[in-house]
């Protein structure tokens, strides 16, 4: 049986060097490879390259998608995980880990949930998700813990983790208002809207930006930096335009201001408890949707009752299309019209129109069948 796999890498901070491109080309004989990207798809076979080494040699994000159950993401973070020790609480022994570099603060965040016998939706666009990884990486570099929490949620519910023994990580602020990239991440891992809503119950609100205060703190911090360090950063930006310099600067700035800057809450819920809350949230969403649908239907019926002539004109136009789908729509409109005018002096209007159609189009069997099935002909 055929299968579909997608392998993608992107360089963000700067292009891959020519020397490292030689290494990238050895990882696949069929991939589309440039200094900014690496892409390949498989119907048969597997990617046998060293993804970790490719990230160490110049690419910054990686996605491996397979329709039989692989949704693996890796993100290179040159200054380490955001928010120091707090980030460690999001990692899990299986499926979510931070692979540190041999030296320095940097490393690779690996997100690889495992679902035994689980296939993933073929509606996922891995190319689109790869582009969202650029935004998610930027959010992590800026200290946003929401992408890390969503990754934790996906892995904590996989086949390697028991729902009664696995506890959720601290719930970050802003979970009630995900960014577009964060919503894409949730969709990629199949995290449902009710689950996100259940998680967000304990999510603190996003703090006021207080941008003026932050700007003043940044200016004071920059002025106090050693000249040789500032020169090193400026030269790196001039020569490479590297975003990793900004990441390093942000990391040092946060440390100077006291570490953790992203608010969290720690409800200590198990995955089982969270799944129960997910079910409750799903019921509320369904009830709300049903109430909204009922209200909209009543408004529509009231509009039909106020101007039934318009409905009859619309029906004539649809009949003229001479399509089976159109005939179904005609029957449905007449059923709604029957309900709309049932308590008015125009009761029976829908049945009368159905009879007129029967007399006008006696040979249109599909139309007559739909009208008859809807019981629009008076006995």
DSSP string covering 104-172, please?
SS-EEEEE----TT----TT--HHHHHHHHHHHHHHHHTT--HHHHHHHHHHHTSTTS-TTT-BPPPEE
Residue 46 lies in a domain: yes
Beta bridge partners, 247, equal none
Decide if 251 contacts 195 (C-beta within 8 A).
Answer: no
CA distance 172 to 160: 24
Angle between helices 146-156 and 193-200 (to 10 degrees): 120
Is residue 243 pLDDT above 70, yes or no? no
Same domain (yes/no): 267, 363: no
Residues 107 and 160 in one domain: yes
pLDDT (tens digit per residue) in 71-124: 999 999 988 888 878 899 999 999 999 999 998 888 999 999 998 766 676 678
The reply to whether 161 and 277 lie within a common domain is: yes
Q: How many domains does the chain have?
A: 2
* In a shared domain, residues 67 and 106: yes
* Domain span holding position 327: 307-373
Would you say residue 1 has pLDDT above 50?
A: no
Average pLDDT over residues 273-277: 95
- The pLDDT tens digits for 284-309 are 999 999 999 999 999 999 999 999 99
State the helix-helix crossing angle for 193-200 and 271-306, rounded to 10 degrees. Answer: 120
Cα end-to-end span (Å), the chain:
55
- Residue 267 sits in the same domain as residue 324: no
Going by C-beta distance under 8 Å and a sequence separation of 6 or more, which residues neighbour residue 76? 55, 56, 59, 60, 61, 106, 107, 108, 109, 137
- Are residues 274 and 352 located together in one domain of the fold? no
Buried b (16+ CB within 10 A) or exposed e, 114-137: bbeeeebeeebebeebbbbbebbb
Q: Is 344 exposed, middle or buried (0-12, 13-18, 19+ CB in 10 A)?
A: exposed
DSSP annotation string for 226-275: -HHHHHHHHHHHHHH--HHHHHHHHHHHHHHTTS--S-EE----BHHHHH
Percent with pLDDT over 90 in the chain = 69
pLDDT confidence band for 46 (50 / 70 / 90): confident
Instruction: Look at residue 240 in the predicted model and tell me its pLDDT.
Output: 65
* Residue 293: inside a domain: no
Among 221, 249, 283, the domain boundary falls at 283
Q: Is residue 228 part of a domain?
A: no
Q: Say if residue 311 is in the same domain as residue 187.
A: no
Name the residue among 7, 12, 4, 5 with its Cα closest to residue 247. 12
pLDDT digits (tens, 9 = 90+) for 244-265: 677 677 767 766 765 557 899 9
Q: How far apart are CA 154 and CA 181, in angstroms?
A: 16
């Amino acid at each position: 049986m055929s299968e579909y796999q997608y392998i993608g890498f992107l360089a963000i901070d700067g292009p891959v060097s020519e020397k490292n491109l030689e290494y990238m080309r050895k990882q696949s004989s069929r991939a589309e490879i440039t200094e900014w990207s690496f892409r390949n798809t498989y119907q048969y076979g597997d990617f046998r390259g060293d993804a970790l080494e490719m990230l160490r040699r110049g690419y910054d994000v990686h996605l491996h998608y397979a329709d039989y159950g692989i949704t693996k993401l890796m993100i290179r973070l040159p200054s380490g995980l955001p928010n120091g020790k707090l980030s460690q609480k999001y990692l899990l022994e299986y499926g979510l880990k931070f692979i540190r570099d041999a030296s320095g603060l940097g490393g690779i965040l690996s997100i690889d949930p495992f679902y035994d016998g689980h296939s993933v939706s073929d509606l996922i666009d891995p190319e689109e998700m790869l582009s969202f990884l650029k935004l998610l990486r930027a959010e992590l570099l800026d200290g946003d813990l929401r992408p890390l929490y969503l990754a934790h949620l996906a892995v904590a519910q996989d086949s390697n983790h028991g729902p009664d023994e696995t506890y959720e990580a601290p719930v970050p602020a802003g979970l009630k208002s995900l960014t577009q990239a964060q919503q894409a991440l949730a969709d990629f891992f199949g995290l449902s809207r009710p689950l996100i809503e259940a998680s967000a119950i304990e999510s603190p609100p996003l703090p006021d930006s207080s941008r003026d205060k932050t700007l003043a703190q940044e200016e004071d911090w920059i002025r106090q930096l050693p000249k040789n360090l500032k020169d090193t950063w400026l030269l790196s930006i001039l020569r490479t335009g590297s975003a990793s310099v900004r990441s390093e600067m942000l990391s040092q700035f946060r440390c100077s201001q006291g570490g953790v800057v992203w608010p969290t809450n720690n409800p200590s819920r198990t995955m089982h408890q969270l799944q129960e809350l997910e079910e409750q949230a799903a019921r509320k969403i369904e009830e709300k949707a049903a109430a909204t649908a009922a209200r909209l239907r009543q408004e529509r019926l009231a509009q039909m009752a106020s101007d039934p002539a318009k409905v009859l004109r619309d029906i004539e136009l649809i009949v003229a299309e001479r399509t089976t789908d159109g005939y179904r729509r005609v029957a449905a409109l007449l059923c709604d019209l029957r309900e709309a005018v049932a308590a008015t002096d125009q009761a029976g209007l829908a049945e009368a129109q159905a009879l007129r159609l029967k007399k006008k189009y006696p040979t249109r069997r599909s139309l007559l069948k739909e009208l008859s099935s809807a019981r629009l002909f008076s006995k």
